Structure formats: structure tokens, C-alpha cells
Amino acid sequence: MIWPSMLGTLTEKMQGLLAKMAGKKKLTEDNIDEAVGEVRTALLEADVNYGVAKALVKRVKEKAVGDELMRSVTPGQQFIKIVHDELVALMGGSEESLKLTSKPAVILVCGLQGSGKTTFCAKLARLLKKKVLVAACDLQRPAAVVQLQMLCQKIQVPVFTLPEEKDPLVVAKRALQEANGYEVLIVDTAGRLHVDEELMEQLASIKKALKPDEVLFVANAATGQDAVQVVQAFNSRVEITGSVLTMLDGNTRGGAAISIREVTGKPLKFEGVGEKIEDVQVFNPKSMADRILGMGDTINLVKKAQEHIDEKEAKRMEEKLRSATFTYGDFLSQMQMFKKMGPLKSLLGMLPGASAIKDMQIDDREFFKIEAIIQSMTRQERDEEIELSPSRRQRIARGSGTKIDDVNKLVKMFKQAKQFFKNMPSMKQMEKMMGGFSWR
């Protein structure tokens, strides 16, 4: 599987520019002009709203020219920091949580057809970790109700439907009555064009009847600036409280992620990063700025680690790694922990500097091969008490159903991993790199 470029050429262009600027020992008005011009071009090619791009590069230039450069970094690094900080500010500065005050709290989900609304409703139900009821009010699209039921069945969340009813407003009202005893009611509505007066009026009626705590507009990230224009139209009719970007795992241009907060004045609250039901996360402006500039995504990597990895076990493993007492058995345990966090290619993509290996072929099936090889070792071999001689490697290959080349590759990978983990920042250091952010 080829490494995906989540934000397409935007990240590549920004990385190229920042690599060039990082080596500058002195910032002049000329090289600043050239750099901000390249930033503007990269943003516009990524389908960022023209006014937003213009305002951002203006602020970058003003700060770069007038900023008192920090002594601890080079001027080029300071320019990179300015671009990063302005991107973070542009996208809202910090995470925006859902404001759920009613009992039950109501979340109305709307957007264009094909934007991923129905899938997002199920993903959100899982993410909330509350007692949730989902209402199937998309009666326009064939099989939308069945799709919602199948998705929610996987996470054991009930779906309210009225099979013979054709009016989504009636379904929505009845769902609210049925939601007594639930903490949250998520309402899936039909996809509609903002120019479809009848459907927009229908959505406004549902909102008026339910008085939702949150109205979330779901947009496909691949639509770029068009998504921004559509969300503005929806906002003028039903007054949304926030946006959701889906399909950010594809080769998208990223324009919507950068523009939507500035243009609408409403925060981005969630982002979809894959097809699986767990592939959704809270939108974090710093995380997105890091990704745009090719700096990895340590924020969401730490979140995943803290969600899936036992803290005591992680600390024990870290001590073993630092003291070079890391064994094949520990290597297997570590890989099994990583498996819980998601696909390997996705996790590696979150590491700073991962763009340097973007074309690496990564196959999660290699996990099973590695497990078989290590499990075919004796205890002494796993604990590195005995050197893996050629004859022992031949025996391990036969026992694991693999080739001698596979065993040799594992031995080489193990030595590289040992060195990698030895030099890797600790969880506390990673949190420090993120400005003190902690998910605990």
C-alpha cells in the first residue's frame, strides 16, 4: 500500500518552502516577499478562499518583517513558526467541544448528499461514549435508513425509525419523545442542495421543532472552497454551530480545512480520517497546522497511545528501551500494542519527519509474519541470551512457515527498531513538544 498524501501537494509545497527558509541566516524584505508569495501560491492551489489566503500572508509578512527574532532559533526557523502560528489562529486556535446542555442533548446533522453524514452520525455516536439514540430522518435517499441501522448495529446503538412515515419532521418529533432516558439524540437528515428551497425549509422546520444544542454541517474535504460556500448558505438558513470535514484521509487539497473557520465564524469540530467507524477525531487546529507543514501529528498520536496503551506497561517498556534491554519478546508486545492503535502506515504518518518515507510500501500483514517468527523462537532466543546463528534462523523459518530471508529481515528490523526507540522522545517530551497539551 502506498503512503497516502492526506493534504496532497499543499504539504509538499509548504515543506519545500520551509526547508529553503530554515537555512536562511538572515531574513530580508526580499526573501520574505519571495517566501510569502510562495505561501500564497500554495494556499490558492490548495483551493483556500482567496480572501483568507490574502489575509494570512499579509499577517505572516507583517510579523516576519516586524518581529523581534528569538535568539534561540535562526531567522528561518522563526519564519516557519510565524507561518505555523498564523495557520493555527486561522483555524480557530484550539479544540472546540460540543455544547450539550439539554436532557437529552440534541445534535442535528446536515449537509450535502454524499458528504458522509450518515456514516458520521454512527461515528459520533461511538465517539461520545454516552447513552445515545440516533434518529433516521433521511427519507430522501434510498437505503439511507438501512445504512444507518447497519452502522449503528456494529456499535450497539439504537436507531429510531418510523417505517411507513414519509415526513421527516414527524419522525424527528417522535424521536425526541422516544429519547427520554437517553443522554444524546443524534438526528441524521437528508442531503440537500442549499438552492433547494423546499428541502431547506424542511430542515429549518426540524431545527425549530427540536431546538438542538448543536447543528453540525458535514462537508467532504475534497470539495475544497465549494464546501465553504455551501456551509455559508446553510448557516444563513439554519444557523449551524460547527462543521465537520469528512474524507481527510484522501488526497485532498485542504482548502476547506484552512478556510471554513475564518469564512463562517463557526468552528470545525470533527474530522473524518478513514472509512472505519472509529476513524473520526476532534478537530485540533495545531494538529492540522502540523500536518500541513509536514511536522507529523504528535497530538493525535499521543491521544491514540493514551487510549489504547496501558500507562504502566508503556513506562516499563520505555525503561527497557532506554536501557537497551529490549528483547524480541518485548518487540512483539510493542507491535501488538501498536496494532490496537490502528494501521501501521497511519501511525507512522503521525511521526515528525514521516514525509521522508511517504513512498514506503507498508503492509499490516507483516505483523502476522513477525508474530509467527518470534513465537517460533525459544525463550533464550527471544531474550537474546543466545545468538541467532544461521542454523537457528533456518529452524525458526521452518517453524514459522516463512523463509530465511524473512527471519534475516526481522533481525535487521529489530536492531533498527532498538536504535529508533532508544532515540525517540518520551511521551512527556512529546507532550512538551506540543506546548503542554495532554489528553489525560
| pLDDT tens digits along 395-420 | 999 999 999 999 998 888 887 767 76
CA distance 246 to 216: 12
What is the structure's pLDDT at 146?
A: 92
- Residues 6 or more apart whose Cβ sits within 8 Å of residue 377: 328, 396
Considering just the CA atoms, what is the radius of gyration of the chain in Å?
25
3-class secondary-structure state, position 172: helix
Q: Cβ(295)–Cβ(352) under 8 Å?
A: yes
Tell me which of 190 and 426 has the higher pLDDT.
Answer: 190
Residue 281 in this model has a pLDDT that exceeds 70: yes
Of 309, 288, 310, 296, give the one whose Cα is nearest residue 346.
Answer: 296
Of 88, 56, 437, give the one whose Cα is nearest residue 285.
Answer: 88
Cα first-last separation, the chain = 33
- Residues 6 or more apart whose Cβ sits within 8 Å of residue 407: 373, 388, 393, 396, 397, 400
For the ranges 124-128, 271-275, 397-401, the lowest mean pLDDT is seen at 271-275
Residue 323 in this model has a pLDDT that exceeds 50: yes
For the ranges 242-246, 356-360, 398-402, 409-413, the lowest mean pLDDT is seen at 356-360
Residue ranges, comma separated, of all CATH 1.10.260.30 domains in the chain are: 301-433
Lookup result for grid cell 450535502:
112
Q: What is the pLDDT of residues 1-34, one digit of tens each?
A: 233 344 556 777 777 776 777 666 666 777 778 8
* Percent with pLDDT over 90 in the chain: 26
CA distance 29 to 82: 15
What is the structure's pLDDT at 56?
A: 85
Residue ranges, comma separated, of all CATH 1.20.120.140 domains in the chain are: 8-90
Give whole-number Cα distances, 13 to 97, 222, 316, 370, in Å.
Answer: 32, 18, 40, 37
Mean pLDDT in residue range 61-89: 71
* 422: confidence class by pLDDT, cuts 50, 70, 90: low
Q: Cβ(221)–Cβ(268) under 8 Å?
A: no
Name residue 103's amino acid: K
* 137: confidence class by pLDDT, cuts 50, 70, 90: very high
| CA-angle at 262, arms to 48 and 225, nearest 5° | 30
Backbone angles phi, psi at 187, to 5 degrees: -110, 115
What is the structure's pLDDT at 133?
A: 95
Residue 214 in this model has a pLDDT that exceeds 80: yes
Q: Say whether the peptide bond before residue 390 is cis (omega within 30 degrees of 0).
A: no
Residue 90 in this model has a pLDDT that exceeds 70: yes
**Helices (H), strands (E): how many in the chain?**
20, 8
Of 282, 317, 313, give the one whose Cα is nearest residue 300.
Answer: 282
3-class secondary-structure state, position 217: strand
What is the structure's pLDDT at 148?
A: 93
- Residues 6 or more apart whose Cβ sits within 8 Å of residue 349: 3, 4, 6, 296, 297
- Residues 6 or more apart whose Cβ sits within 8 Å of residue 244: 111, 120, 216, 217, 218, 219, 268, 269, 270, 271, 272
CATH superfamily of 8-90: SRP54, nucleotide-binding domain (1.20.120.140)
Residue 43 in this model has a pLDDT that exceeds 90: no
Q: What is the mean pLDDT of the chain?
A: 78
Tell me which of 79 and 257 has the higher pLDDT.
Answer: 79
Q: Cβ(110)–Cβ(217) under 8 Å?
A: yes
Name the grid cell of 333: 508486545
Residue ranges, comma separated, of all CATH 3.40.50.300 domains in the chain are: 105-293
- Domain 105-293 sits in CATH at 3.40.50.300
* 433: confidence class by pLDDT, cuts 50, 70, 90: very low
Mean pLDDT in residue range 141-158: 91
- Residues 6 or more apart whose Cβ sits within 8 Å of residue 153: none
* 171: confidence class by pLDDT, cuts 50, 70, 90: very high
Mean pLDDT in residue range 225-233: 75
Q: Regarding the domain delimited by 301-433, which CATH topology (the fold level of the hierarchy) does it fall under?
A: 434 Repressor (Amino-terminal Domain) (1.10.260)
